[in-house]
Amino acid sequence: MSTPKSNGTDKRRWSDMSEAPETPNAKKKRLERFVADQQLLASQSIPTPHTPRVINTVRLPDSLRKKILVTGGAGFVGSHLVDKLMSAGHEVVVLDNFFTGRKANVEHWLHHPNFSLMMHDVTQSILLEVDQIYHLACPASPPHYQYNPVKTIKTSTMGTINMLGLAKRVKARILLASTSEIYGDPTVHPQPESYWGNVNTIGPRACYDEGKRVAETMMYAYKNQNDVSVRIARIFNTFGPRMHPNDGRVVSNFIIQSLQNKDITIYGDGSQTRSFQYVDDLVDGLVKLMEGDYDSPVNIGNPDEYSIKDFATMIRDMCGSKSEIKFLPAVADDPTQRKADIRTAKRELDWEPKVSVDEGLVKTIDYFQGEVDAAGEIVPTGPDAAKPKGSFTTG
């Protein structure tokens, strides 16, 4: 029998096997580097294209560190809330079905030992052990929540029942992200928490408005019957980085259209008014509400009021755009005015917005410039029901 001839590969293999073993000193240094890397990863976020800045985290003792659930935590507002909770040293669990949420919004935390991400729909029950629940899950822009109105209602009702059941079981405090939309097309201006609203229960926006109204009702039913600790934030128009480029809201549409020198579309004559708050201010308000003792509904918004026409002109000028403003037919049930009365937040939470609209828009325009550069072109979403680009759909 002939002997197989050896080749260079065999020689290299035998050479590798005969290399000297790692010395104790080298092994010690390698382990020290590994430990140092792990400690670094546990002390900050990792810069990503979507969130390039580093967010440092503190290390809390077990007695102070909370385990906090954020439903809808991969969404626009939820991801900013996650940043604040993580930086404070808490353990955060994000639940999201990624209908409007995006993994890119939280990918800078995926390595961190205090962070967990679960793809889950809140209309299905779940068993977890947590200390606090921020219940933000629900599409919030009209084109998105009108795309599947039955699912929107399920999210606000069944989803809230499931989260309240969890809060009851584990004795966690729960905060509901409600909305200024519960005031409908208001006849009282600005809108205080005592105002009951002027709503259309069968209109195109009712799936969202009425879903949030019944969610508030359920919160207080569980509080009164089961002694669940509840908080309700009525959130007014909010803007900032990580807004979904195709959410169809005026801020994102106006900026995207201006950056691309496309016509800025206004539905109606532009006289309708809104008040806009920067997302960092909202997050601060949510945390103050959760940590405080006040358990009645609280408006969280910026009382600075703009007509939609003036706001479009302001954004166009800030973008240095050549866009023309184009007026299209008004949208059904679009509120004619919206302005937050924040006296309760000032009195009970010592909260009021700190970031001016101008300052917030500079940061938001910079974010959307990056989105447009990455995509090449973004076609804004109109007022009609539309599925978010790149989303998952569940029944």
Distances (CA, A) of 56 to 16, 42, 47, 103: 42, 9, 11, 20
Query: Which of these is catalytic: 208, 222, 306, 367?
Result: 208
Residues 6+ apart with CB under 8 A from 155: 122, 123, 137, 138, 139, 211
Task: Tell me whether residue 347 is exposed, middle or buried, using C-beta atoms within 10 angstroms of its C-beta: 0 to 12, 13 to 18, 19 or more.
Answer: exposed
Instruction: Provide the token pair at 313.
Output: 């002109």
Calculate the CA 227 to chain-centre distance: 28
Residues 6+ apart with CB under 8 A from 329: 267, 268
The residue among 282, 323, 286 whose CA lies nearest residue 135 is: 286
Whether 134 is a known active-site residue: answer: no
**162-171: string of b/e by CB count within 10 Å (b at 16+)?**
bbbbbbeeee
Upper half-sphere CA count for residue 201 (Cβ side, 13 Å): 2
| Whole-number Å distance between alpha carbons of 386 and 142 | 9
Which residues are catalytically annotated?
208
